Amino acid sequence: VTVTMGAAQTRSEHSYQDLSDKTGFSLEQITNLHKRFKQLSGDSETIRNLNSIPDLTDNPIKNQIINAFFDKRNQRNGEVGTYREIGFEEFLMVMSHFRPTSRKTSEEEKKAIRKEKLRFLFNMHDSDSDGTITLEEYRKVVEELLSKSGNIDLEVAKAIADAAMLEVASTNMPDMAPDYFYEGITFEHFEQILSGLEMESRMHIRFLDVDTNTMRCDRK
């Protein structure tokens, strides 16, 4: 028994190193996240759904976030589509979008990371993976965003989405012909319109190096 344990240990350490190179997390972080992954998956190799996390129930964009975990586009391997279940590597890959940059990162790297984060966001909104966020898709985003705040009806959400969309349209194509139909936000436009947004503090969370034992097991 001890032999197999040891083998598993070395194997996981080995693969942790791989994952660390791939995702940029430290080994401690990976260990912690793996623990969490096991919690979520109920000690199996893959996660089929993330719907049961109790803290998430109040989150209005819960579905979008969860879908992002199962979205192949967020794995940086050029594939499109959705997974039915994800392994730890995929889980980590999605998580790595939220890893803070270290202070040594060069400007180009920062730009690339920023682009990646934006891409993640874009993918989240572009639910049919066609490369544009159409008005319908955006409306859905806003609707979901507002869904938990009560007393706001769908009409308002629609209005907000429309106005935002219009804004994108008019920002990106100032001299649009009146009969031009703006089909949706492409990634380039998305990038452009959010260019003023400071991403550093908004799409980062601090992944702890130490294990937090206060976590509850959510699968039970």
Partner 1 sequence: NVIFYLFFLLLCIRDVVGSDFCLIAGPMRRCGHGHCWLLGTLAFFYLVLLSGVEADAKSDHHSENGHHQNASSISGIPIVTFKWHHVETPYTVALWIIVAGLCKLVIEANHHVTNVIPESALLICSGFILGGMVWGADKKQTFKLNPTVFFYYLLPQIILDAGYSMPNKLFFTNLGGILLHAVIGTCWNAATVGLSLWGCHMGGAMGDLDIGLLQYLLFGSLLSAVDPVAVIAVFEQVHVNEVLFIMVFGESLLNDGVTVVLFNVFDSFVSLGGPAINAAEIVKGIISFFVVAFGGSLVGLVFGLLLSLLTRCTKNIQIIEPGFVFVVGYLSYLTAEMLSLSAILSITFCGVCCQKYMNANMDEKSVTTVRYAMKVLANGSETMIFVFLGITAIDKTIWVWNTGFILLTLLFVLVYRVIGVFFLTWIQNKFRLVPLDLMDRIIMSYGGLRGAVAYGLAALLDENKIKEKPLMIGTTLIIVYFTVVLQGITMKPLVTWLKVKRATNNELTLIEKVQNKVFNHMLVAIEDISGQKGNNYMRDKWTHFEEKWMSWFLMKPSARKKHDHLFNIFHMINLKDALEYVDKGESNGTLEFIRNDTAFIDFKKNYEDDFSDVSMPDLTIDMGDDTIANPYARRDAVPSISLEMHKQTNYGLRESENINTHHLLQQHLYKSRNQHRFRYSRSHFDLNQDENEVQEIFQRTMRNRLESFKSAKLGVAPPKPITKHPRKDTQKKMPNGKSTEKRSYYSGDEDFEFSEGDSASGYFPRVTHRPGTGIENPSFMPDLDPRAPVQIPPWLAEGELDSTAGVAPSQRAQAGLPRTPSNLNRLAPLRISTRSTDFPTSSSSQQSNELPPPPSPPPYHPHKI
Q: Considering only residues 122-141, where is the footprint of partner 1 by CB under 8 A?
A: 124, 135, 141
Distance CA 142, CA 100 (A): 27
The closest alpha carbon to 135, from 144, 126, 145, belongs to 126
Among 60, 111, 128, 136, binds partner 1 (CB under 8 A): 60
The closest alpha carbon to 67, from 26, 21, 123, 11, belongs to 123
203 binds partner 1 (CB under 8 A): yes
End-to-end CA distance of the chain: 28
Q: Nearest distance from residue 1's CB to partner 1, in Å? A: 29
213 binds partner 1 (CB under 8 A): no
Token pair 């989240």: residue: 124
| Closer residue to partner 1, CB minimum distance, 12 or 152 | 152
Part in contact with partner 1 (CB under 8 A); list of ranges 9-17, 71-79, 108-116, 142-150: 142-150
Q: Nearest distance from residue 2's CB to partner 1, in Å? A: 29
| Closer residue to partner 1, CB minimum distance, 10 or 49 | 49
For partner 1, the binding residues in 38-57 under the rule CB under 8 A are: 39-40, 50, 53, 55-56
106 binds partner 1 (CB under 8 A): no
CA distance readout (Å), 136 to 76, 128, 139:
26, 11, 5
Q: With H, G, I as helix, E, B as strand and everything else as coil, classify residue 109.
A: helix
| Closer residue to partner 1, CB minimum distance, 19 or 124 | 124
Strand partners, 184: 134
Among 100, 105, 115, 116, binds partner 1 (CB under 8 A): 100
Distance CA 186, CA 15 (A): 37
Residues touching partner 1, count (CB under 8 A): 72
95 binds partner 1 (CB under 8 A): yes
Distance CA 182, CA 170 (A): 9
Among 28, 89, 116, 162, binds partner 1 (CB under 8 A): 162
159 binds partner 1 (CB under 8 A): yes
Q: Which helix (H) or strand (E) holds 167?
A: helix 154-172
